[in-house]
Structure formats: C-alpha cells, structure tokens
Structure 1
Amino acid sequence: MQKIVLFASGNGSNAEKIILHFKKSSLANVVMVFSNNPRAKVLERAQLNGVEAIAFEKQELNNGVILEKLNTIQPDLIVLAGFLLKFPESIINYYPNKIINIHPALLPKYGGKGMYGTHVHSAVLENKEKETGITIHYVNENYDEGAYIFQKSVTIETCKTIEEIALEIQKLEHQYFPEIIENLLSN
C-alpha cells in the first residue's frame, strides 16, 4: 500500500476529499497530515477521518525536523493541498518528482509569491477573465513553476464575485485532485 502525506494550512476541504477518496482504495492511504497552522480546520478533519495530524512551527520545515519525520514515513507522494509556505529545497531534493501542488488558476497566469486563494480569485475578477481553472503541478524551488501534470478550465462569465469564482474552483479541485493523485500513483 502506497503512502500519501498531505500538507495544508487552512480549512482542508481538499485534504478531506483526498482522505475520503483513498479510504476506499487498495492503492494508497493518506498516512499523515502536516499543518503549519495549529488552528487549521484540516487538523480536525484529518483526525475525524482517522488520519494522524500534526501542527509544526515554520522553522521545523526548514531546519530538517519535517524532513526527518518524512523520512520515517517514506511517503510515495507528498501533496500540498492549500499549503501556504514555500516548500524547502532540502525536501524537494530528497523527494524529486514526488511532491505536487494544486493551484487555483490556469498557470502560468496568476501564480507566484502571494498568489493563493482569494488573492488569485480577486485578480481573475479584476482582469475580467472569461475562464479560470486549476493547475496540478510538481513542486520545484520556485512558487508555481514546476512541471504541469493537469489543468482544467471553467467558464466564469456569469461569476460576479470572488466567492462565486472560489466555488467554481473548489468544485474542480474536489472532482479532479483525488483522481490525478490516483493516476500518478498508478503509473
């Protein structure tokens, strides 16, 4: 059975969808959820679904503590599901092509430092985009610049608010993120 580790910073709806998807799978299990936010709802969601979850301090991500914990687990895939910190090169180098992220836009548009969540949706709305979408990509040393794995677009011409755009994006994330993870682990 393959092992998935999730990193998330907030609500954790994507993390929960991934956990539930793989609860029914013989391919892989989510074995741990890490969060840099001790008040993140993702920690509660994980525990309610029987997955160990821990909060950590930012410096632990960069000083080797988290890498040591990952090495104990030996994950087959590390998934950033709404994780807001820059992932350190030390972990990226140790787990090449085993770390993926989901971005709430069609990269390369609206990517980079500071472009997450409502910041992305606000920029999409301000620029009067007719469509937006999601990008699932490998993580490298730069924000949102890793090789693309999957993109899916959605028309947002009828969306008048950031919240409406966010809802359309979340539907795509919930539908496709678990499937793409399963496809990656199957190959």
Structure 2
Amino acid sequence: MKRVVIFASGSGSNAENLIKFFHNIDNVAVIQVMTNNPRAKVLERCKRLNISALAFNRVAFSKSDDILNILKLQNPDLIVLAGFLWKFPNFILDHFNNRVINIHPALLPKYGGKGMYGMHVHEAVVANNEKETGITIHYVNENYDEGAIIFQAKCDVLPSDTPEDVASKIHLLEMEHFPIVVNDLLNE
C-alpha cells in the first residue's frame, strides 16, 4: 500500500480531488492532511471525507522536529503540497529526499518564487500579456519553485481573459492532471 500525506494551506480543492481520486484505488491511501492554517477550509473537507487532518504552527514545522517525527511515523511514499504556502524545511526534505512534490499555477520557471501563488500568479500572467500559462508539478527543493519539473500542462490566455478567467482554466488543469501525475509517480 502506497501512503500519501498532503500539505495544504487554503480551501483544499486539490486535496479533496486527490482524496476522492485515490479512494477507490486499492494500492494507494491518503493517510493524512496537514495544514499550517487552523482556519483552512481543507479541514472541513477532511472532516466530511473522513480523512485525518492536523493543523500545526511554524514552531512545530520548522523550529522543532515535531512534524518531521510525525512524518517519520507515517512513513509516506509521497508528500504532496497542494496549495501549501510555507517553504519546506531542509531537514524534512533531506529525510524525504525526492518524495516531496508541489503543484504550481504557472509554467515554471516563469512566475515562480516567494510570493508567487494563487491570484498573484494569474494577475502577473494577465498583466504581462502572456499568450499561454499552465501548471507545473515539480519536486520540492531548498528554493521556492526551483525543483526538477515532473510535468507541465498548458492552456491559452486570451487577450480578453481576466485573472479570474485564468484561475478557472488553471483549476481545470489541476483537477485533470494532478491525481494522474501523483498516481504515476507512486507506481514508477
């Protein structure tokens, strides 16, 4: 049985999509969702979906071994960042080398780095009159959005598109591709 832990900071739509995708797959289980936001909507989704969820603070995550020790006990095959906004500490990355992945709402290396998430990305894409954008699924390393790229999917940006239009297109790409890429990684 392959074990997945998801980290999320917000609404949790990608987390829910992954949980539902793997619900009927015999060899994969989402065993835990972790969040740095005690008011994140992902916690409500986990309750409804009967998935264990844990909220933590910055001290537990990056200034102590608390989260690392929980992860060691859970022994996940893959840690999936699905809208998680904090930089992952090196000591956790070192222990789970090449087992932490992230989804980013742009075609990296464009529109990556600290502060480039969610609507900030879509606003920048529209402001720069980009003709296309997309999603990038990548390994997490010590720098924001600089890990090796695993997968990218593109969509057109029309001259009439607003940042909200772009966000909708990106959301569709995430829903379609993220679970499949995670499943492929787990079955390599």
Q: Answer yes or no: same fold by TM over 0.5.
A: yes
Once the two structures are TM-superposed, the CA of residue 161 in structure 1 deviates from its matched residue by 1.2
Moved more, 152-161 or 26-35: 152-161
Structure 1 partner of 2:140 = 139
**How high is the TM-score relative to the length of structure 1?**
0.98
Residue pairs, 1:29-108, within 5 angstroms: 29-62=29-62, 63-108=64-109
Q: Structure 1 segments of 4 or more deviating over 2 A?
A: none
Once the two structures are TM-superposed, the CA of residue 59 in structure 1 deviates from its matched residue by 1.5
Deviations 1:59-81 (A, max 9, x none): 11111110010011000000000
Residue correspondences, number: 187
What letter corresponds to residue 123 of structure 2 in structure 1? S
Once the two structures are TM-superposed, the CA of residue 46 in structure 1 deviates from its matched residue by 1.3
Moved more, 32-41 or 54-63: 54-63
Instruction: Tell whether the 8 Å contact from 1:139 to 1:145 is kept in structure 2 after alignment.
Output: yes
Rounded to whole Å, the distance in 1 between the matches of 2:44 and 2:160 is 31
Structure 1 partner of 2:6 = 6
Rounded to whole Å, the distance in 1 between the matches of 2:73 and 2:48 is 23
**How high is the TM-score relative to the length of structure 2?**
0.98
Rounded to whole Å, the distance in 1 between the matches of 2:42 and 2:127 is 30
- Secondary structure of the residue aligned to 2:164 is helix
Instruction: Tell whether the 8 Å contact from 2:129 to 2:159 is kept in structure 1 after alignment.
Output: no
Gapped runs of 5+ residues in structure 1?
A: none
Percent of aligned positions with the same letter in both sequences? Answer: 55
Structure 1 partner of 2:162 = 161
Rounded to whole Å, the distance in 2 between the matches of 1:32 and 1:2 is 13
Instruction: Tell whether the 8 Å contact from 1:159 to 1:165 is kept in structure 2 after alignment.
Output: no
Deviations 1:131-172 (A, max 9, x none): 100000000000000000000000011552111100000000
What letter corresponds to residue 3 of structure 1 in structure 2? R
Rounded to whole Å, the distance in 2 between the matches of 1:8 and 1:46 is 11
Rounded to whole Å, the distance in 2 between the matches of 1:159 and 1:6 is 35
**1:116 counterpart = 2:107:** no
Rounded to whole Å, the distance in 1 between the matches of 2:34 and 2:148 is 24
Rounded to whole Å, the distance in 2 between the matches of 1:174 and 1:165 is 14
Gapped runs of 5+ residues in structure 2?
A: none
**Cα RMSD, aligned residues only:** 0.8
Rounded to whole Å, the distance in 2 between the matches of 1:42 and 1:12 is 4
